[in-house]
Structure 1
Amino acid sequence: MKLQHYLGGLEGLPEPLTLEKRVFIEDWEKRIFGVHVAMMGLSNHLGSAVPPYPIDDVPTALKDEWTWADLRTGAEAMNPFDYFKYRYYEKWLGGITQFFLDKGYITEEELAERIADFTPPSGDEGDAGIDDQVIAYLRLGDSPRRDVAHPKFAVGSAVRIANVPADAHSRLPGYLRGHVGMVERVFEGDYAYFCHTGDGIGDPMPIYIVAFEPTDIWGARAEEGPLALYAELFEAYLEPLTEEQS
């Protein structure tokens, strides 16, 4: 499991906490966000998405799947020291670049040449079919909801967070593993994830909001006061609490 998943309450990080509220600090960050959204709008999984898209008819050179899961996997694959060194959209840029290299869309030599000869695009280029598809995706999105909820746990249930096998990508905060919480809410649907992560999520399942007592997680280091920690968790990460464990 990557260090990036254990940040809750972690002390001694090299940089102080920043409360920057701007979404984009540099202009190039907007372009990276746009590239990511365009890739999601042209991803080949959209033919089976909700709603479905006529992706096979779109004249795009992107023939692979690209989702939030792929973006996150790219960031999580970074060396932890690099992960903490780079800013948010620098991580995005690194993940997107590595994707195109790994999939063979471009070689490292070609990338270096294009960087050296880079000229900002005029904005007049593009294909109407591709533009229409990306705009449709921006308007309609890609819903992960597949059914009404079929929960194993009810509101008020005490649950233990599973210590699932580590994989390349996870949606489970590492610092919650093994801790006990209380189900505060069951979301209305069963939700799929973009891919099967190897630690239990992928197929449609319920999602819960689970509440934790900070002192149960951080002990004496927890801040004083009427505080609670809430986490949205897939059902695969929850285990029933037996009488022996309670």
Structure 2
Amino acid sequence: MKLQHYLGGLEGLPEDLSLEKRVFVEDWEKRIFGIHVAMMGLSNHLGAALPTYPIDEVPTAFKDEWTWADLRTGAEAMNPFDYFKFRYYEKWLGGITQFFLDKGYVTEEELAAKVAELAPPTAEPVEAIDEQVIAYLRKGDSPRRDVAHPKYPVGSTVRITNVAADAHSRLPGYLRGRTGTVERVFEGDYAYFTHTGDGIGDPMPIYVVEFDPAEVWGPRAEAGPETLYAELFEAYLAPIKEDS
């Protein structure tokens, strides 16, 4: 279980968490956001996304898949204590940089030389690439693949699984092994843009599950009529086995 997936009720972190509310603290962070958006707009997963794009016809050297899932995987591969130390877009920078290194778009030597130069880019943008990125910003993509085919109807009591966290997980650590009630079933089956190794990736239903805080945090839960809701992929739910 990665530490950054398990923050519910966790105490004793090495440093206070930053509560910075500005979206961009420094100007370079805007450029990192733009690079990420451009990568998503040129990602080869768009050939299967809804709405579809003629991505194979776009004259770009970027021929890999890049989604929010890849960004999160890269950031969460960091040492947990480094993860908490760096600001939001510093994590993005690390994840994107490592992706380009791993995929061979740039070497560490080339990157170091470029940093030493600190020269602005001289190449003119390719119009077709710009058009595709703008189309992506306007239309987006969708992980929805079908109508919902849920195993658990509204009102079902379910137990949250305790699958091992792999490269990335969408399951909060504090919900593992807890019992809740299905409050809502989303209207479609939804894919996750990468297979995380803990059960999600292929299209499946997503549920809103309701939890009693006392079930999650025990006697340390705050008193009062509070309810916790979590959106969870079906792979993270298991039925309650009745005693025979």
TM-score, normalised by the number of residues in structure 2: 0.95
1:140 correspondence with 2:139: yes
1:26 aligned to 2:26? Answer: yes
Query: Unaligned 5+ residue runs, structure 1?
Result: none
Secondary structure in 2 aligned to 1:187? Answer: strand
Whether 1:52 aligns to 2:52 is yes
Q: State the match for 2:216 in structure 1.
A: 217
2:25 is matched by which residue type in structure 1?
A: I
Q: Cα gap change, 1:224/1:19 in structure 2, threshold over 3 Å: closer, same or farther?
A: farther
Alpha-carbon distance in structure 2 between the residues aligned to 1:172 and 1:57:
37
Matched, 1:10 2:10: yes
How many correspondences in the alignment?
A: 244
> Quick one: which amino acid aligns to residue 85 of structure 2?
K
Distance 2:173 2:33 in 1: 27
One-letter code of the match for 1:204? Answer: P
Which residue in 1 is equivalent to 2:187? 188
Instruction: Provide the secondary structure at the position in 1 that maps to 2:188.
Output: strand
Partner of 1:163: 162
Aligned residue number for residue 174 of structure 2 = 175
Q: Which moved more, 1:67-76 or 1:20-29?
A: 20-29
CA distance in 2 between partners of 1:182 and 1:15 (Å): 35
> Which residue is 2:150 aligned to?
151
Q: Secondary structure at the match of 1:175?
A: helix
Provide the residue aligned with 1:42 in structure 2: 42
Deviation by residue 1:170-197 (Cα, 9 ceiling, x = unmatched): 1111111110011111111111110111
Structure 2 distance, partners of 1:189, 1:172, is: 19
Give the SS at the match of 1:208.
Answer: strand
Structure 1 residue 26, shift from structure 2 partner: 1.5
Consecutive unaligned residues in structure 2, runs of 5 or more: none
Distance 1:31 1:90 in 2: 12
CA distance in 1, matches of 2:235, 2:65: 24
Aligned to 1:242: 241
Looking at structure 2, the residues matched to 17 and 46 of structure 1 have their Cα atoms a distance apart, in angstroms, of: 36
**1:17 Cα deviation (Å)?**
4.3
Q: Give, in whole Å, the separation in 1 of the partners of 2:220 and 2:124.
A: 56
Match of 1:108 in 2: 108
Query: 1:83 aligns to what?
Result: 83
Q: What is the CA distance between 1:47 and its match in structure 2?
A: 1.1
**Contact 2:17/2:84 (8 A) holds in 1:** no
Q: Percent identity?
A: 80
